[in-house]
Structure 1
Amino acid sequence: MTRIGFLSFGNWSNVQGSLTRTGGDAILQGIELAVAAEEVGVDGAYYRVHHFAKNYSSPYPMLAAAAARTSRIELGTGVIDMRYENPLAMAENAAATDLISGGRLHLGISRGSPETSIAGYEVFGHVPGAGDGVRDDETDADMARRHTAAFREAITGAGLAPANPQMVGMAGLLPVTPQAPGLAQRIWWGAGTRATAVWAAEQGMNLMSSTLLTEDTGVPFDELQAEQIALFRAAWASAGHEHEPRVSVSRSVIPLIDDETEHYFGLHAQAEQRDQVGILDGARSRFGRQYIGTPDRLAEELSRDQAVQAADTLLITVPNQLGVDFNARILEAIMRDVAPALRAPVESLA
């Protein structure tokens, strides 16, 4: 594992103790945290996208603003629900944002996760099948993959719209503009199962695996996720893609470094940290444990997390409602006191 980023859910609520009380607070603080994270050596700033909820919903203005304020850090999403997306409008927004960033945009996309609305994507005008007589049996997951295919085709510069010879002096098909070279290789699929990870590899998309899997085989979460990663890499090799894939995993990591972190999370550190198993969206699912403790303890525990070791990128989920300064401090501690152990060979930690 060589890269460490943060993943912000962008939660906001006007309640006691929250430093992120409005949607504007969440967006502006998301930008500021990207700036602060770059200053302490963090490699990536990633943002979760949810609709009809008090989370980030339209990521491109925030990503573009963060891109204009930074120079090195990766900027991305984890993940965009493709059921809601107009693929060609998304291609234009993504390309423009990537050009502003100088080629640092990494988009995590997926079928989406359980949400607050019922079929909210239909309100956005996206209905599976849409009664066209051809895709009448299409599911919402099928629609997400169809939108994904159209988006990925558009960002490669494929001709899509018939040219008007009277306007452009030529016949043929026109691509959407602008185009961002290299963006097509920086698309990640958020996979919640081993099977979807294999599918992502076959499609040539990077793998983004979260703190939960919507399946459970009885083995610890990190082992199941490491198996998912191994299957992804094997499928990638079999598909014969020319470039190397990226793989990220997410973890909740809080180093106890001062009175404030002890106040908010000290009691959690004293409780036994273990996986949780439950039903999510009708499927038996396994949720990864939290990592809370002193930096040296976190370094040891994360160095033995099989999936963290198998991935090349670790995304740290941050408690964004505690504010930019708090999260910048914990990210700085992770980069200074935890990251070196994660980047060292596992054998040297035995």
Structure 2
Amino acid sequence: MKAFGFLSFGHYAIGNQAGPGAREVLQQALELGKAADEIGVNGAYFRVHHFAPQGASPMPLLGAIAGSTKHIEVGTGVIDMRYENPLYLAEEAAALDLLSDGRVALGVSRGSPEPAERGWESFGYAAEAPNGADMARNKFETFLAAIDGYGVAKAAPEDQQYPRMYRGGTPLPVFPHSPQLRRNIWWGAGSHSTAEQAARDGVNLMSSTLVSEADGSSLGEMQFEQIRRYRAAWKEAGHDWTPRVSVSRSVFPIVSERDRQLFGLQGNSQDQIGSLGEGSPVTFGRSYAAEPDKLIEQLRADPAVMAADTLMLTVPNQMGVDVNLSILSNFAEHVAPALGWLPASEGRVEGYPID
């Protein structure tokens, strides 16, 4: 492991529910990002869900964190492409990449099951597949073409242009263009096949918080195989740069009695096989909660954690900045160095070489 960051689901309370509301959660996310930057945490990443009291529109938050920090990477895990205008997303992503000096890790994917029935239709989009996978794929291809600078529209006849800039019919790209943005795009893969496709597409791999397969293996073992296949497909595709790979885990170092009271029982969890309502079984990962020496041993025994170059710690955002910063600080001080951590202030993270 060369880097670690936090992944927040951005849960907030609505109506008469107890807990922080949307404004407080967003403000706390900004404060946590700033505090994490000060202790050298490499990344601040946020889930994106629609029609739910969670984070839904990440760009304002990512821009606020990037503008308030010096080193930390900002990103998503992941943006649901079914809900996106791919050209507008390309414009936003390029602007964020330029403003942050390349400190972007924009994870995108087909998206997960959600509360709304075909909710993307309410956003004005249509799909053939019941889960919208066909539309998400088409939009992703359009998004990649746009960030690569290809023409996605054509210039109007010259006498109809204002200002007059192009010869009529000239292919027009979206602006702004960030040349390095393609290397900061990640695909959130939930299966071996989507990981291999991400490699062929030439984007980084963000292995999901679950795997949409189940064969009795642990999540770590299944993700390790996913990473192996991704890197083999990347090498076969012949891309001229080394990609990055991330995995997500719930990790709680126990270094105080408060930590034990809050998270001690999490250490008894195990991987689970369940369903997301789409028919196929899903493997969910366990939580890690232990004293630092035991935690180091457990994480070293997780093959996917050790194969990845970036570890995203899922944080209980509703517990506030103090608790979540304590988790990150404890990990940074007591666990990460033993796993080969490179703090953000010491340089950008590079992917592992493709053997």
The two structures have a TM-score, normalised by structure 1, of 0.91
Inter-partner Cα distance in structure 2 for 1:267 and 1:275: 15
Inter-partner Cα distance in structure 1 for 2:165 and 2:10: 47
Residue matched to 2:139: 147
Question: 1:44-59 alignment to 2 at 5 Å?
Answer: 44-59=43-58
Spell out, residue by residue over 1:207-249, the C-alpha distance to the aligned partner (whole angstroms, 9 max, x if none): 1112210101111221111001000000000000111111000
Inter-partner Cα distance in structure 2 for 1:287 and 1:196: 18
Task: Give the secondary-structure state (helix, strand or coil) at the position aligned to 2:149.
Answer: coil
**Structure 1's 154 and 296: CA in aligned 2 closer, same or farther, altered over 3 A?**
same
Residue matched to 1:100: 99
* Conservation of the 8 A alpha-carbon contact between 2:266 and 2:288: no
Matched to 1:238, the amino acid is E
* Conservation of the 8 A alpha-carbon contact between 1:106 and 1:183: no
Residue matched to 2:5: 5
* Conservation of the 8 A alpha-carbon contact between 2:118 and 2:131: no
Residue matched to 1:113: 112
The answer to whether the aligner puts 1:322 opposite 2:319 as a matched pair is: yes
Question: 1:52-131 alignment to 2 at 5 Å?
Answer: 52-129=51-128
Residue matched to 2:298: 301
Inter-partner Cα distance in structure 1 for 2:232 and 2:273: 27
The answer to whether the aligner puts 1:160 opposite 2:155 as a matched pair is: no
**Structure 1's 308 and 151: CA in aligned 2 closer, same or farther, altered over 3 A?**
same
Task: For residue 268 of structure 1, report the CA deviation from its aligned partner.
Answer: 2.9
* Conservation of the 8 A alpha-carbon contact between 2:7 and 2:315: yes
Query: Any stretches of 5+ residues in structure 2 without a counterpart?
Result: 342-355
* Conservation of the 8 A alpha-carbon contact between 1:163 and 1:174: yes
Task: For residue 17 of structure 1, report the CA deviation from its aligned partner.
Answer: 6.6
**What's the Cα RMSD here?**
1.6
Residue matched to 2:254: 256
Task: For residue 16 of structure 1, report the CA deviation from its aligned partner.
Answer: 7.5
Task: Give the secondary-structure state (helix, strand or coil) at the position aligned to 2:83.
Answer: coil
Residue matched to 1:185: 183
Inter-partner Cα distance in structure 1 for 2:124 and 2:18: 38
Task: For residue 335 of structure 1, report the CA deviation from its aligned partner.
Answer: 0.8
Inter-partner Cα distance in structure 2 for 1:12 and 1:330: 20
Task: For residue 138 of structure 1, report the CA deviation from its aligned partner.
Answer: 8.7
Segment of structure 1 superposing worse, 4-13 or 166-175: 166-175
Task: Give the secondary-structure state (helix, strand or coil) at the position aligned to 1:114.
Answer: coil
* Conservation of the 8 A alpha-carbon contact between 1:4 and 1:42: yes
Inter-partner Cα distance in structure 2 for 1:139 and 1:343: 40
Question: 1:226-237 alignment to 2 at 5 Å?
Answer: 226-237=224-235
The equivalent position to 1:332 in structure 2, one of 313, 326, 329, is: 329
Task: For residue 298 of structure 1, report the CA deviation from its aligned partner.
Answer: 1.0
Inter-partner Cα distance in structure 2 for 1:127 and 1:5: 35
Residue matched to 1:277: 273
Task: Give the secondary-structure state (helix, strand or coil) at the position aligned to 1:83.
Answer: helix
Task: Give the secondary-structure state (helix, strand or coil) at the position aligned to 1:335.
Answer: helix
**Structure 1's 139 and 319: CA in aligned 2 closer, same or farther, altered over 3 A?**
closer
Spell out, residue by residue over 1:162-203, the C-alpha distance to the aligned partner (whole angstroms, 9 max, x if none): 223243342212211111220111111111111111111111
Residue matched to 1:205: 203
Task: For residue 261 of structure 1, report the CA deviation from its aligned partner.
Answer: 2.2
Inter-partner Cα distance in structure 2 for 1:82 and 1:105: 17
The equivalent position to 1:173 in structure 2, one of 171, 174, 192, is: 171
Inter-partner Cα distance in structure 2 for 1:84 and 1:5: 26
* Conservation of the 8 A alpha-carbon contact between 1:210 and 1:251: no
Inter-partner Cα distance in structure 2 for 1:2 and 1:17: 38
**Structure 1's 224 and 160: CA in aligned 2 closer, same or farther, altered over 3 A?**
same
Residue matched to 2:27: 28
Inter-partner Cα distance in structure 2 for 1:305 and 1:249: 11
* Conservation of the 8 A alpha-carbon contact between 1:303 and 1:341: no
Query: Any stretches of 5+ residues in structure 1 without a counterpart?
Result: 130-136, 345-350
Residue matched to 1:292: 289
Segment of structure 1 superposing worse, 259-268 or 107-116: 259-268
Runs of 4+ in 1 over 6 A off after TM superposition: none
